[in-house]
A and B are shown apart, each in its own frame.
Chain A
Amino acid sequence: MNRIEKTLILKDLQEITGNKRILLSMIVMPLLMSVLIPLVLVLGANNIITDSIVVGQIGTLLNSLPSEYMASNPGQLMITIMVNYMFPTYFLIIPIMCSSVIGASSFVGEKEHKTMETLLYTPISMEQLLRAKILGVFISAFTIVLCSFICFGIIVNIGGLMYFERLIFPNMKWLIIIFWISPAITILSLTITALVSATSKSFQEAQQLSGLLVMPVFFGLIAQMSGLGIPSKSVMLITGAILFILDYILIKKVSKIFLPEKLVR
């Protein structure tokens, strides 16, 4: 990475942090998913799991849990469900949402605000421009994922100390999710945003289209809530590898359509 690319990445980061709309959407949702909901669940674990209404809603999940879980007390059960069933999918939604919002701002925002043309008049090659844009979005989105992960980890460990009397987080599967699958899915989301940005005229349009990527993850969430839980480590590693291959193919595709003439018209 040369000085020009670093300059562009820093400018993108400066713009993202200076834009209240983007900043808000980047803070609110991860805060909700990694801090507020886990905090409520941890603090009220004993009550929630015995609440008849909630039990009714997650009854299917409770019935499908392995038999060893049945020996756990309600608090322990709640923490286990959180860590193994509910939140892994949330941590796939966070990078998708963040990279599509930041990506739409970074790629289509330049087009929408007519700054892309000014940028194209500087001595930066299209390859450098694309690389800097992808890196800028990735760094921002993945930083949020890491911060969310740390906050979530602290809250889960508070729960661990409260109900298990020991630190229980992170486990190997979570490390694979955060450092293998999450980066792959972040790149996937932002390359799709970049692809969409070549044809989108507005930030909203690009964000909505690339946000469709979240749909398969929602299905995954429903599947997990039905008792499927986190897949095995090998399945997760293979899934991550497939995603990275897909990322590579998409980046190649983006670089073919990422042409100045298409970006300024």
Chain B
Amino acid sequence: MNAINIENLTKSYNGKENVLNNINISIPKGQIFGFFGPNGSGKTTTVRILNGIVSGNSGDCEILGKSIKENMNEIHKLCGVMTESAFCYENLTAEENLMFFGRMHGLENSYLKERIILILKRLDLFSVKNKKIKEFSTGMKKRISLAISIIHNPQVLFLDEPTSGLDPESAYNVTNLIKELAAENDVTIFLCTHQLKYAENLCTLYGFIENGNLLGFGTFEELALSKNATLQLKIRGKNIQEKLGFEYKNNNLYTKTISGDEEVNSIIHNILTNNGEIYEVIQQKWSLEQLYFNYIKGIKEV
């Protein structure tokens, strides 16, 4: 069973322009799906529709086989949501906020108290549990929002920019926590972010969206293949001849497009037999950033 199913989803707020245009996405359980696109491309609207607080104009959406339109409360029990537009109560302490949202999810007090301690410790917020949220830094606010989104052990977690505004250490910790959550509890994660660097090491499935149009969806390899993404062989060395097909960049760095592992052995052999010197060899795939810009740039050229 897929954790998330979106079929032919279309949404317009004003009846004239579509903010989402015939979106189709299927995410199997346990996957970490990265949803990428510029501001205003439709990511947050998609998250809101999947959680039933905005309704689509046409199409069907399901979470773990349950239709969103018919099972809104059930969906909210299954899903945790952290978005940039959903805050917690600034005049309440971290612990009070978690108690409140835990009770709203129907958790029993004794279990909730244990769970709060566990989550606060894991997010490095235990020492500030009695501080009001208004006294928190941006990073701490992000972490408490994440804590609220996972208080009820959701099976599907929607995260909208979970690492923006965080210092590198916090961002690393949050990224690790997301990874651990997905691995330990088989949580499916729907991640919207601009921070491609963090997402690259995290996601197992990717989607690119611009102006409400889904430009690409699949694994990294599938997406790279459909864009004919090449593999680059990078060699740092000396006296590498042009006839071997290398392009000289700078500082003794040469690059060549290759098809795969099988080519590398013969290339190195040829360099060495032609009196070339090799200090370092790297096979480099496209980065997520390259792939993202290729997809977004592609639509701009149409």
Q: Which residues of A contact B (CB under 8 A)?
A: 3-4, 7-8, 11, 14-15, 18-19, 113-115, 117-125, 260-261, 264-265
Contact = CB atoms under 8 A, between A and B. Distances in A.
A265 B48 CA distance: 11
B117 interface: no
22 contacts: A3-B106, A4-B103, A7-B100, A8-B104, A11-B92, A113-B89, A114-B85, A114-B86, A118-B148, A121-B76, A121-B79, A121-B80, A121-B81, A123-B76, A123-B77, A123-B106, A124-B73, A260-B53, A260-B54, A261-B54, A264-B85, A265-B13
The 6 closest A-B pairs by CB, nearest first: A117-B86, A260-B53, A122-B104, A118-B86, A123-B76, A114-B87
B90 A264 contact: no
A118 to B, nearest CB: 4
A14 B96 CA distance: 10
A15 B91 contact: yes
Contact of A11 (B48, B89, B105): B89
A176 B72 CA distance: 43
Contact of B54 (A122, A125, A264): A264
Interface string B105-137: 110000000000000000000000000000000
A261 B86 contact: no
Contacts of B48: 264
A122 B53 contact: no
Contact of B104 (A7, A15, A117): A7
Given A7-B104, A117-B53, A125 B73 contact: yes
A59 to B, nearest CB: 49
Contacts of A120: 51, 53
B53 A264 contact: yes
A224 B124 CA distance: 62
Nearest to A20: B91
Contacts of A114: 85-87
B53 A123 contact: no
Given A115-B87, A121-B53, A260-B52, A3 B103 contact: yes
B76 A261 contact: no
B221 to A, nearest CB: 34
Contacts, number: 79
Interface in B62-93: 72-74, 76-77, 79-81, 83, 85-92
B213 interface: no
A15 B91 CA distance: 7
> Is the contact region of chain A dominated by helix, strand, or loop, or is it mixed?
helix
B92 A15 contact: yes
B83 to A, nearest CB: 7
Contacts of A7: 100, 103-104
Given A11-B100, A117-B85, 19 more contacts: A3-B106, A4-B103, A7-B100, A7-B104, A113-B89, A114-B85, A117-B83, A118-B87, A121-B51, A121-B76, A121-B79, A121-B81, A122-B76, A122-B101, A125-B72, A261-B54, A261-B55, A264-B54, A265-B13
Contacts of A123: 73-74, 76-77, 104-106
A121 B149 CA distance: 9
A118 B53 contact: no
A264 B80 CA distance: 17
Interface string B8-49: 000001000000000000000000000000000000000010
A234 to B, nearest CB: 45
A15 B106 contact: no
Contacts of B148: 118
A118 B88 contact: yes
A118 B103 CA distance: 14
Contacts of B73: 123-125
Contacts of B145: 118
B87 A122 contact: no
B248 to A, nearest CB: 54
Contacts of B86: 114-115, 117-118, 121
Interface in B198-245: none
Nearest to A15: B91
